[in-house]
């Protein structure tokens, strides 16, 4: 091998080593940045749908550090560039001229000057401000050039503005803007922007009462520079000089405290634009504050309000609790807590029976003393109406008709309907709730209840908009975060739970405002815009509900004490309904629901009984009813009767001439129902008795009110451990009748007019016999037991 060849080989090797070194250096440079520059925890920030801050929660490291900004406001950008890095948009990540000047000053004077660009400062912030040495400065330069190669200038500026320190535990421009001036960074003035641009370079200047002169001098110098550069004019400059310096930090907005807490748990450390309407939320806060001031006079300390958009199911307003004290559990979010439902489930039973064709809106339902397997429901006013139209029973929230309707419809069947309506809080078997399910025996949250009402309204709206189709997502869960796409609508031909006709008739019944008799304050609500609404009160006056829907909004109100303490007057009517209508008054007005004619059919109805018209009904009206309503039975209450000429007695061919008989169509109720109905309806005319010489076929003169057939009777004790009397009760068609009572063969008494008798037998089996003065008998076998210890 010649010397020339060896020289060439050595030269090639040297070039190869250099190339390898360059490749290694390039790779080191290429991968010198971590995959994520900043891993610090961030604060949770919640904004309204308009982008206005509702609230924020501090980061896990106790720093107020908002999530990274998308862009930097132009005023702050001009201020920070002219203060820190005037050649930001022209250098490759470092500025050799500035670095040279800084090095010369640091070597020749006692003053220290930094020559770092904003890009280098971003690198230093990401490396947690490592000790300032020339070696570290070299690393910063290398990483800064890599940052410039991988990020745009705008992105680098946003990184700086998001992570720069602004004094104390305030990190980032947006955080500083809210903490020091109480407004978003996009609204900062020139004077405010200049003051904040100073702080990252010297965060200690922010402490109130200290260094204000230095801070002012630096700010004013920066403003003068902006004036000289033509960035601002003379007027702006003068106004900026007069602006106050940042001082004691402002508290951050907390307009939706409980919603912010809820979103912090679901989206920790994120900035979320909620569905909340900023204006409505503020109005709700004022409404709750006003009503809470009145309620707390009665020892009622907690309250919650939820407003939903019916069709989108967006949460428009969210007040999780009243502005009460810590001792009264003000931090508890009532909206998602399960409470006794009171009567707010009754409309779903009404709709269920309409939907299945087992009830018409105005069908008479019994309202008489009722005992079912030892369960004895009572109306709120303690009275009995005999019989009431089902829609009236719903609008007046009568308990006894609701229990009897539930027994007729089926407990397990209704429990299944509630699960279909997404009542997750009702999570026990139906047998554990029993018939009290319809009166508050179950628990659910304001979130679930309001959403279920909204679901009915949304189903009806969608049906009317699409000309007879249903949306599978009408019962979807509410949305709190804007931009979180709901499940796309899926059209169906069949109803999801209830058909549109049943829903319309249910909401129409709930539009009535003549709530329980004796309440005079309901006229106050009569001028409000149309709303279908329902109140509820739990046992022991512990929970008061008011829930309502319009075609556009669903409103839910709960009032009570979070610790479960009951209070007199804590009812849906007195405590929750006024707040419901206060909320309704601040919502845009809307017209009533369109009529879903395709799910209704025209039918002839008995005006008195509400049933399909029977052959003997004398007052017939034509109304639209749910299509399955034609399955219901015709009216059986109207009968054809034959009277004597004076209309004093009923007669028949066995005792009276056919030619002289008077034939009439009469509205006739069973004895027990008639006994109570006639007291409320003076227009009701009972049937006259048969004439004594007439043969009677199938006439029912008497009926046991208590006990009912096959009913076990328990000997209850009072608080003093004494056995209470058993009160037997009978209804008789003839008010002047006299009844004789026997227990087995033993005579126990006689009653006139009011047929009630108190006895205290020993446990055992008996035959109870009642005989009237004409010899008519009524018998029933009894089983009386004593309570177990």
Sorting pLDDT into bands at 50, 70 and 90, what band is 137? Answer: confident
Q: Do 776 and 740 form a contact (C-beta atoms < 8 A)?
A: no
Reply yes or no on whether the pLDDT at 328 is more than 90. Answer: yes
Q: In the sheet where 271-273 sits, what is the strand order? A: 53-57, 44-47, 271-273
Judge whether residue 479 has pLDDT over 90.
yes
Instruction: Compute CA 614 distance to the chain's CA centroid, rounded to the nearest angstrom.
Output: 44
Q: Predicted confidence band at 516 (pLDDT cuts at 50, 70, 90)?
A: very low
- For helices 399-409 and 411-420, the axis angle rounded to 10 degrees is 90
Q: What is the pLDDT of residues 426-469, one digit of tens each?
A: 999 998 999 999 999 999 999 999 999 999 999 999 998 887 88
In the block, which residue shows the tokens 């009897």? Answer: 404
Arithmetic mean of pLDDT, 694-700? 68
E strand intervals along 570-657: 600-606, 620-626, 638-643
What confidence tier does 523 reach under pLDDT thresholds 50, 70, 90?
A: very low
pLDDT of 2 above 80: no
Task: State residue 517's pLDDT score.
Answer: 37
Q: For the chain, what percent of residues have pLDDT higher than 90?
A: 54
Say yes or no to pLDDT of 697 above 70. Answer: no
Q: What are the CA-CA distances from residue 481 to residues 54, 270, 313, 475, 619 (Å)?
A: 13, 12, 11, 18, 55
Q: Which residue has the tokens 């309407």?
A: 277
State the Cα–Cα distance between residues 185 and 53, nearest whole angstrom: 12
Query: CB–CB of 309/553 below 8 Å?
Result: yes
Backbone angles phi, psi at 207, to 5 degrees: -60, 125
- The two most distant CA atoms of the chain are separated, in Å, by 154
Closest CA to 423 of 488, 305, 338: 338
Q: Tell how strand 491-492 and strand 386-389 pair up.
A: unpaired
Q: Kindly state the DSSP code that residue 497 receives in the 8-state scheme.
A: S
Burial (0-12, 13-18, 19+ Cβ within 10 Å), 111: exposed
Name the pLDDT band for 725 (thresholds 50, 70, 90).
Answer: confident
**Which runs of consecutive H residues, i.e. helices, occur in 267-357?**
278-295, 346-355
What's the pTM value of the predicted model, to 2 decimals? 0.84
DSSP code at position 242: T
Q: Which residues of 606-629 are buried (b: 16+ CB within 10 A; e: fewer)?
A: bebbbbbbbebbeeeeebbbbbbb
- pLDDT per residue as tens digits for the range 727-786: 888 888 776 788 888 888 888 888 887 888 888 788 888 888 888 877 778 888 888 887
CA 470 to centroid of chain Cα atoms: 23
* Dihedral, 249, 254, 259, 262 alpha carbons, nearest 10: 30
Checking if the pLDDT of 195 tops 80, the result is yes
Distances, alpha carbon 120 to alpha carbons 36, 88, 137, 562, in Å: 16, 11, 9, 54
Q: Three-state SS for 784?
A: strand
SS3 state of residue 738: strand
Residue 543 to residue 503: CA distance in whole angstroms: 26
Beta carbons of 580 and 529 less than 8 angstroms apart: no
The pair of structure tokens assigned to 659 is 């030619």
For residue 73, give the 3-state DSSP assignment: coil
Helix (H), strand (E), coil (C) string for 659-699: HHCEEEEEECCCHHHHHHHHHHCCCCCCCCCECCCCCCCCC
The tokens describing 320, both together, are 């999780």
Return the HEC string of 129-187.
CCCCCHHHHHHHHHHHHHHHHHCCHHHHHHHHHHHCECCCCEECHHHHHHHHHCCCHHH
**Is the pLDDT at 513 greater than 60, yes or no?**
no
Question: How far apart, in whole angstroms, are the C-alpha atoms of residue 498 and residue 88?
Answer: 65
Contact 404, 370 (CB under 8 A): yes
If pLDDT is split at 50, 70 and 90, which confidence band does 111 have? low
Give the confidence band of 293 by pLDDT, cuts at 50, 70, 90. very high
* pLDDT surpassing 90 at residue 583: yes
Task: Give the tokens for residue 373.
Answer: 């397997």
- Region 368-391: mean pLDDT is 88
**Model pLDDT, residue 522:** 47
Mean pLDDT of 214-242: 93
Q: Cis ω on the peptide bond leading into residue 707 (within 30° of 0)?
A: yes
**Range name among 7-11, 335-339, 697-701 with the lowest pLDDT average:** 697-701
Are 335 and 447 in contact by the 8 Å Cβ rule? The answer is: yes
pLDDT tens digits for range 72-91: 999 999 999 999 888 889 88
Lowest mean pLDDT of 137-146, 218-227, 249-258, 419-428, name the range: 137-146
Q: Taking phi first (over 0 means left), then psi (-120 to 50 degrees means alpha), and beta for anything else, what does residue 172 get?
A: left
Q: Name the token pair of 251.
A: 């508290």
For 234, other C-beta atoms within 10 Å of its C-beta total: 8
Both tokens assigned to 109:
């004077």
When mean pLDDT is compared across 21-30, 106-115, 476-485, 665-674, the lowest value belongs to 106-115
Per-residue HEC secondary structure of 355-420 comes to: HCCCCCCCCEEEECCCCECCECCCCCCCCCCEEEEHHHHHHCCCHHHHHHHHHHHCHHHHHHHHHH
At residue 786, the pLDDT reads 77
Beta bridge partners of 304: 558
Q: Which residues pair with 372 in a beta bridge?
A: 375
Rounded Cα distance, 350 and 361, in Å: 8
Find out whether 496 and 421 touch, Cβ atoms under 8 Å.
no
Mean of pLDDT over the chain? 87
**pLDDT score recorded for residue 515:** 39
Angle of the 118-126 helix axis to the 74-84 helix axis, nearest 10: 90
Q: How far is CA 474 from CA 463, 477, 503, in A?
A: 10, 9, 13
DSSP annotation of 334: G
44 pairs with which residues across the strands?
A: 57
Round to whole Å and give the CA distance between 213 and 207: 12
C-alpha 296/C-alpha 280 separation (Å) is 24
Q: Which tokens belong to 289?
A: 């504050």
- Nearest alpha carbon to residue 288 among 325, 337, 323: 323
10 Å CB burial of residue 631 (0-12, 13-18, 19+) is exposed
Pick the residue with more confidence: 381 or 491?
381
Q: What angle is formed at CA 415 by the lines to CA 412 and CA 419, rounded to 5 degrees?
A: 140
Number of residues that make up the chain: 789
Average pLDDT over residues 63-67: 94
| Residue 102: per-residue pLDDT | 58
Confidence of residue 209 (pLDDT cuts 50, 70, 90): low
- Cβ neighbours, 10 Å, residue 233: 11
Each residue's pLDDT tens digit, 182-192: 999 999 999 99
């Amino acid at each position: 091998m010649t010397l020339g060849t060896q020289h060439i080989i050595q030269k090639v090797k040297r070039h190869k080593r250099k190339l390898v070194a360059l490749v290694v250096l390039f790779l080191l440079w290429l991968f010198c940045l971590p995959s994520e520059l900043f891993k610090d925890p961030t604060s949770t920030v919640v904004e309204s749908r308009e982008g206005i801050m509702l609230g924020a929660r501090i980061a896990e490291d106790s720093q107020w550090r908002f999530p990274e900004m998308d862009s930097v406001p132009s005023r702050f950008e001009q201020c920070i560039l002219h203060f820190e890095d005037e050649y930001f948009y022209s250098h490759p990540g470092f500025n050799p001229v500035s670095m040279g000047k800084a090095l010369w000053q640091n070597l020749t004077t006692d003053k220290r000057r930094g020559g770092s660009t904003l890009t280098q400062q971003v690198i230093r912030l990401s490396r947690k401000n490592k000790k300032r040495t020339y070696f570290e400065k070299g690393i910063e330069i290398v990483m800064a050039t890599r940052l410039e190669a991988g990020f745009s200038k705008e992105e680098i500026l946003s990184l700086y503005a998001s992570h720069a320190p602004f004094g104390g535990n305030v990190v980032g421009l947006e955080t500083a803007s809210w903490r020091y001036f109480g407004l978003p960074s996009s609204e900062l003035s020139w004077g405010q922007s200049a003051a904040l641009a100073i702080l990252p370079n010297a965060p200690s200047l922010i402490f109130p009462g200290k260094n204000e002169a230095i801070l002012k001098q630096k700010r004013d110098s920066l403003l003068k520079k902006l004036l000289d550069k033509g960035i601002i004019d003379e007027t702006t400059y003068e106004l900026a000089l007069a602006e106050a310096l940042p001082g004691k930090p402002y508290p951050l907005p907390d307009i939706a405290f409980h919603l912010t807490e809820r979103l912090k748990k679901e989206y920790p450390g994120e900035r979320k634009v909620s569905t909340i309407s900023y204006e409505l939320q503020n109005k709700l806060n004022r409404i709750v504050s006003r009503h809470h001031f009145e309620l707390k006079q009665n020892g009622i300390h907690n309250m919650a309000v939820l407003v939903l958009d019916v069709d989108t199911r967006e949460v428009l307003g969210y007040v999780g609790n009243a502005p009460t004290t810590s001792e009264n559990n003000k931090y508890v979010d009532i909206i998602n807590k399960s409470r006794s439902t009171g009567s707010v489930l009754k409309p779903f039973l009404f709709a269920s029976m309409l939907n299945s064709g087992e009830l018409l809106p105005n069908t008479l339902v019994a309202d008489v003393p009722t005992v079912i397997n030892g369960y004895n429901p009572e109306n709120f006013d303690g009275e009995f109406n005999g019989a009431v139209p089902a829609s009236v029973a719903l609008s007046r929230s009568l308990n006894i008709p609701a229990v009897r309707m539930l027994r007729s419809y089926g407990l397990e069947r209704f429990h299944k309907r509630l699960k279909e309506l997404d009542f997750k809080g009702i999570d026990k078997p139906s047998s554990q709730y029993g018939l009290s399910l319809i009166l508050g025996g179950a628990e659910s949250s304001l979130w679930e209840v309001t959403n279920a009402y909204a679901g009915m309204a949304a189903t009806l709206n969608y049906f009317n908009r699409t000309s007879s189709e249903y949306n599978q997502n009408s019962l979807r869960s509410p949305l709190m975060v804007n931009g979180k796409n709901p499940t796309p609508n899926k059209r169906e031909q069949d109803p999801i739970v209830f058909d549109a006709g049943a829903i319309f008739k249910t909401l129409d019944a709930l539009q009535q405002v003549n709530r329980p008799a004796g309440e005079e304050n309901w006229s106050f609500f009569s001028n409000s815009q149309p709303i279908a609404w329902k109140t509820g009160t739990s046992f022991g006056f512990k929970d008061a509900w008011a829930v309502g829907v319009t075609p556009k909004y669903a409103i839910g109100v709960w009032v009570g004490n979070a610790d479960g303490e009951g209070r007199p007057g804590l009812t849906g009517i007195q405590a929750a309904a006024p707040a419901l209508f206060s909320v309704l008054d601040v919502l845009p007005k809307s017209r009533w629901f369109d009529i879903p004619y395709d799910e209704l059919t025209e039918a002839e109805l008995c005006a008195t009984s509400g049933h399909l018209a029977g052959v003997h009904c004398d007052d017939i009206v034509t109304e639209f009813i749910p299509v399955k309503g034609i399955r219901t039975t015709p009216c059986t209450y109207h009968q054809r009767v034959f009277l004597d000429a004076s209309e004093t007695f009923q007669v028949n061919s066995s005792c009276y001439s056919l030619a002289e008989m008077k034939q009439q169509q009469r509205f006739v109720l069973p004895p027990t129902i008639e006994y109570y109905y006639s007291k409320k309806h003076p227009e009701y005319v009972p049937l006259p008795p048969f004439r004594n010489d007439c043969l009677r076929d199938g006439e029912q003169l008497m009926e046991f009110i208590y006990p009912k057939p096959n009913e076990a009777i328990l000997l209850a004790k009072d608080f003093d451990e004494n056995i209470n009397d058993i009160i037997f009760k009978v209804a008789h068609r003839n008010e002047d009748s006299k009844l004789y009572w026997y227990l087995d063969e033993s005579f126990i008494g006689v009653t006139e007019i009011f047929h009630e008798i108190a006895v205290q037998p020993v446990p055992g089996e008996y035959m109870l016999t009642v005989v009237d003065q004409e010899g008519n008998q009524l018998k029933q076998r009894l089983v009386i037991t004593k309570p177990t210890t």
